[in-house]
Amino acid sequence: MEEVIEELREQNEPVPVPLELPDDDQLVEIEEQLLINLPFELREFLLKVSDVVYGRLEPVTATDPQSHTYLPDVAATAWDLGLPRDLVPLCQDGRDYYVVDIEGQVTLWDGDDGELTDETWDSVWHWARDVWLES
C-alpha cells in the first residue's frame, strides 16, 4: 500500500484548483448520506490519495459536493443504473464502474450489461496499482 501511495504522489499532476483530502468527519457524513458503511480500504484510499489527479481515470472524491467525482453523487447514479446497493463505486469509466465490496475487493461492473464482470482486484490498492497507474 505504501508503495502505491508513494507512486501516486509522484505521478500527481498539477491542476489549477487542487483537490483536498477529507477528514474522518466528512467520511462519516458521506456514510450517513449513502446509508452504508464505507469499506475500510476505500476509507483509507479516500483519506490518503483522493486528492491525486493522474491519467484519464478519476476515482471518487469526498470533499467537494460540486465535483463530478463526489462519491454520493457517483453512487446515486450507479445505483440508479442498477449497481447493487451493497457495492460502492470507486471510479467511473464511461458507462462502467469499478466498485468495492464490503471486504474491499474491487470488481468491474459493466454498465451496458448491468452485471459484474470477472475482472477483479484483491483490494483498492491493487486496483490503483494495476488499473489507475496504468491508465
| In contact, 127 and 116? CB cutoff 8 Å | no
Closest CA to 49 of 24, 12, 79: 12
Three-state DSSP at 63 gives coil
For residue range 64-116, what is the model confidence (pLDDT) as tens digits? 999 999 999 999 999 999 999 999 999 999 999 999 999 999 999 999 999 99
Q: What is the C-alpha separation between 135 and 130, in angstroms, rounded?
A: 9
Q: Where are the domains of the chain?
A: 2-132
Q: Which residue has the cell 466498485?
A: 99
User: For the whole model, what pTM was predicted?
Assistant: 0.96
Pick the CATH number of 2-132 from 3.40.50.150, 3.30.1490.100, 3.40.1580.10, 3.90.180.10: 3.40.1580.10
